[in-house]
Chains A and B, each alone.
Chain A
């Protein structure tokens, strides 16, 4: 299926993503920041749909906006932040940090502008209807070993999180 009104949807989703990402790092209350981050994640899922990646878009919504953000909100509720909200929110080297990040962004834009001609103009032609099937075949075929290593990593992360959150080790 060819996408419709791609220009409008791209700029709309990109604007939403950027604005709510700025809200994530400027809000004083972490709950507001988490809700803005959910908006960013959802608009990125829309962009994945425009890039012929419906499975990644679904995983983004279910796992990121559903799972990881619920984890964040749980911890925000567990940790008492009332004193923190009234404190000063920026650390001492904020000006230097912003300048460094902006120069990194300028460098990235410079590289993109200089190197934009090396990308192929034609698309790979990914069939959307078989996308999930193809991703599954790749995951259990070529990427078998990384897949198993990822499951081991998740096991280690679960054990580590439980041990660190325990009251007495």
Chain B
């Protein structure tokens, strides 16, 4: 049975990365933006695991670290969203202008 080549996985990960970047750059809802960041982190994870098939287990261990960071990032980001919604009653990023002059 033929194995899928590494290039296939890289192209799929590039597609997911691109979709995540489009989501970060174009949406106004900050919750969707955080989900797009999760998409980007997953594309990176797919790359790491695909290369770990060629070079040994380092990639899988690093993928676990990336998942840990994603959990930390989601917790802090959603805490910021709650604090922000409590103050301004909105979740649109272009209405976040407290530090803008």
Contacts and interface: CB of A to CB of B under 8 A. Distances in A.
A50 to B, nearest CB: 7
Interface in A1-56: 2-7, 10, 14, 17-18, 21-22, 24-25, 30, 33-34, 37, 40-41, 44, 47-48, 50-53, 55-56
Interface string B1-39: 111101111111011111111110111110110111011
A101 to B, nearest CB: 4
Contacts, number: 244
A114 B75 CA distance: 39
A14 B12 contact: yes
Per DSSP, chain A at the interface is helix
A123 B16 contact: no
Interface string A133-169: 0110011000100100010011011101111110100
Contact of A37 (B15, B25, B39): B39
How many interface residues does chain B have, given as a range?
35 or more
B20 A158 contact: no
Contacts of A104: 18, 21
Given A21-B16, A21-B20, A51-B52, A90 B27 contact: yes
Interface of A: 2-7, 10, 14, 17-18, 21-22, 24-25, 30, 33-34, 37, 40-41, 44, 47-48, 50-53, 55-56, 59-60, 63-64, 67-68, 71-72, 74-76, 78-81, 83-84, 87-94, 96-98, 100-102, 104-105, 108-109, 112, 116, 119-120, 122-124, 126, 131, 134-135, 138-139, 143, 146, 150, 153-154, 156-158, 160-165, 167
30 contacts: A3-B1, A14-B12, A21-B20, A24-B23, A25-B27, A30-B31, A33-B32, A37-B38, A44-B42, A47-B12, A51-B53, A52-B53, A55-B64, A56-B45, A56-B60, A56-B64, A72-B31, A72-B35, A75-B82, A87-B92, A91-B26, A102-B18, A102-B22, A104-B21, A150-B68, A153-B72, A154-B71, A156-B72, A160-B76, A167-B86
